[in-house]
Amino acid sequence: MSWAEVYGHDTQRQRLENAATRGRLAHAYLFVGPAGIGKHRFALELAKLLLCERRGSAWEACDRCAACVQVQANTHPDFLTACKTEDKLEFTIDVVRGMTAQLALRPIRGGRKVAIIEDADDFNEEAANCFLKTLEEPPDGAMLILLATSIERQLPTILSRCQVLRFQRLDDVAMENLLARTDAVAAELIPQLIRLSQGSVGRAVALADETVRECRTRTIQQLGAARPNAVELARNWIECLEEAGKESASQRERATRLMALVGSILGDALRIQQGLPATEPSENDRIQLIADRCTEDHLLQHLEATVEAERLIDRRVPLPLIMEQLAQKLCTA
């Protein structure tokens, strides 16, 4: 039953199952794919399956035994998760040391240890080196699952010691099934969210929030104005981020989603310039105004600026500053 919670990614599951059947599962996997498509969910199911104590003949966790319940609640003594700490830009050596020390201990409940390592994009050299020995020779039966968004960001030392499994954006059917089961999403919104979120559930869920949708609509209007106003544009974005709560982590998460949405508006303007329809046909006319105002070169520069803004968000630059600078760039041409 348990894979029912994982949407899409059937090929990846099949590949792992085939490897398992032949007794050829690797001890370290690097899952690579865009954010928000369910890599973590997939890794969690895999961990559950590996630790399940009442597994039948099918390649899936029972979802009911004590071990399954503990993995799900993140209380299983042999199931570890590691990520960079909130105040750090990189995955630090302290986190790696803690994890390798725990991995070295004998399994307590199950016959093996399983670790999910988030933020593998952000290993610093020192932390990676500290991790190499464990990656190369993990304790008996241990499985390490590293999650990353891009191959280019991986250090060669890590890359060469992991089996890479690439994950793609979700297709429309998987998106629809998943969104239909998400409480936060109203049914009538689903078709539009699927079109606008480009296979990222995270983006779809962000867009399901009315504040974010309104902010996006205002962004289209503001960018399409004859003389766009950078101050108003920045205010629109900052207010939307503040709505996400006081915590900087939740504001940053929303900021990242917002940048992706701004990027998709600019991408739509480029499509229109090339004679193609906007992703959301009902927005064609309003995005046409942006396509008319900007040259192709400007749109490409704007797109680059939003990608740069995402990078700055990641590097913990204060959000108001990022928003103001980006608004300035997008409004100057």
Nearest alpha-carbon partner for 120 in 94, 145, 87, 97: 145
Q: Which H or E run contains 268?
A: helix 248-273
* Token code pair at residue 236: 């629109």
Q: How far is it, in rounded angstroms, from Cα 71 to Cα 90?
A: 26
Find the distance separating the first CA and the last CA of the chain, reported in whole Å: 53
Residue 148, number of CB atoms within 10 A of its CB: 25
Q: Does 65 bind Zn ion (CB under 5 A)?
A: yes
Sign of CA dihedral 270, 274, 280, 283: positive
Piece of the chain touching Zn ion by CB under 5 A; list 20-28, 62-70, 220-228, 306-314: 62-70
Shortest reach from residue 67's CB to Zn ion, in Å? 5
On whether the CB atoms of residues 115 and 82 are closer than 8 A, the answer is: yes
Shortest reach from residue 79's CB to Zn ion, in Å? 12
Q: Closer CB to Zn ion, residue 68 or residue 165?
A: 68
Piece of the chain touching Zn ion by CB under 5 A; list 53-61, 95-103, 191-199, 273-281: 53-61
Shortest reach from residue 326's CB to Zn ion, in Å? 47
**Total binding residues toward Zn ion, as defined by CB under 5 A:** 6
Q: How far is it, in rounded angstroms, from Cα 287 to Cα 272?
A: 8
Q: How far is it, in rounded angstroms, from Cα 314 to Cα 218?
A: 25
Q: Does 52 bind Zn ion (CB under 5 A)?
A: yes
Shortest reach from residue 178's CB to Zn ion, in Å? 23
Piece of the chain touching Zn ion by CB under 5 A; list 3-11, 48-56, 117-125, 170-178: 48-56
Tell me, rounded to whole angstroms, the distance of Cα 292 from its chain centroid. 33
Q: Closer CB to Zn ion, residue 69 or residue 186?
A: 69
Q: Closer CB to Zn ion, residue 3 or residue 131?
A: 3
Exactly one of 28, 47, 68, 241 binds Zn ion (CB under 5 A); which one?
68
Q: Does 159 bind Zn ion (CB under 5 A)?
A: no
Q: Does 62 bind Zn ion (CB under 5 A)?
A: yes
Q: Closer CB to Zn ion, residue 56 or residue 281?
A: 56
> What share of residues in the chain are helix, strand, coil (percent, to 5)?
60, 10, 35
Give backbone dihedrals phi and psi of 258, rounded to 5 degrees, phi first.
-60, -40
Shortest reach from residue 44's CB to Zn ion, in Å? 13
Piece of the chain touching Zn ion by CB under 5 A; list 66-74, 179-187, 203-211, 296-304: 66-74
Piece of the chain touching Zn ion by CB under 5 A; list 52-60, 177-185, 198-206, 219-227: 52-60
Q: How far is it, in rounded angstroms, from Cα 110 to Cα 50?
A: 9
Q: Closer CB to Zn ion, residue 65 or residue 93?
A: 65
On whether the CB atoms of residues 149 and 39 are closer than 8 A, the answer is: no
* Token code pair at residue 276: 């193609």
Piece of the chain touching Zn ion by CB under 5 A; list 16-24, 31-39, 49-57, 208-216: 49-57
Q: Closer CB to Zn ion, residue 68 or residue 193?
A: 68
Q: Closer CB to Zn ion, residue 61 or residue 158?
A: 61
Q: How far is it, in rounded angstroms, from Cα 70 to Cα 84?
A: 23
Q: Closer CB to Zn ion, residue 1 or residue 321?
A: 1
In the complex, which residues of this chain contact Zn ion (CB under 5 A)? 52, 54, 61-62, 65, 68
